[in-house]
């Protein structure tokens, strides 16, 4: 019964960007931003380091950069925009998920189709060269 009431109390929505009322004191909130800042600096520094280094296998670099960027976006969403997985954030997360779906379709679809077109409409002399 108690857990039921607990659930109801927590299922009230919060605005995107807002922390929950019981989010804590000012110091705790500043600490949250500091943690976010530290993680973001760490990920950014890693990105810039990896882009210029030859310590790692070169073909892995683009994938590593994309993964680091997505991780940092996640850090910003959680620590700065306060988009969490809590029940009070369901609406915000659903809107975000739809946005991400469109972004993935637009970017992935464009790259895929254009790569295909590049392959299939290659100038004839290029094709001759490749067949040789």
Residues that bind other proteins (CB under 8 A): 1, 4-5, 8-9, 11-18, 26, 29-30, 33, 36-37, 40-41, 44, 47-48, 51-52, 61-62, 65-66, 68-69, 72-73, 76-77, 80-81, 91-92, 95-96, 98-99, 102-103, 106-107, 109-111, 114
Q: How far is the CB of 34 from other proteins (least distance, A)?
A: 8
CB closer to other proteins, 103 vs 128: 103
In the bound state with other proteins, the residue whose beta carbon lies nearer, of 90 and 129, is 90
List of residues 6+ apart from 39 with CB closer than 8 A: 72, 75, 79
**Shortest approach of other proteins to residue 123 CB, angstroms?**
14
Cβ proximity to other proteins: between 61 and 86 the closer is 61
CA-CA distance, 44 to 65, in Å (whole number)? Answer: 10
């Amino acid at each position: 019964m108690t857990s039921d009431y607990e659930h109801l109390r927590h299922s009230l929505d919060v605005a995107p960007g807002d922390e929950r009322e019981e989010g804590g004191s000012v110091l705790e909130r500043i600490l949250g931003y500091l943690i976010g800042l530290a993680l973001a600096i760490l990920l950014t520094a890693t990105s810039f380091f990896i882009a210029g280094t030859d310590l790692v296998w070169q073909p892995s670099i683009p994938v590593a950069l994309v993964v680091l960027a997505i991780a940092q976006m996640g850090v910003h969403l959680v620590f700065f925009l306060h988009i969490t997985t809590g029940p009070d954030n369901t609406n915000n997360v659903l809107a975000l998920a739809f946005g991400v779906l469109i972004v993935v379709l637009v970017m992935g679809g464009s790259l895929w189709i254009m790569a295909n077109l590049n392959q299939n409409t290659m100038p004839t002399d290029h094709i001759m060269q490749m067949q040789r």
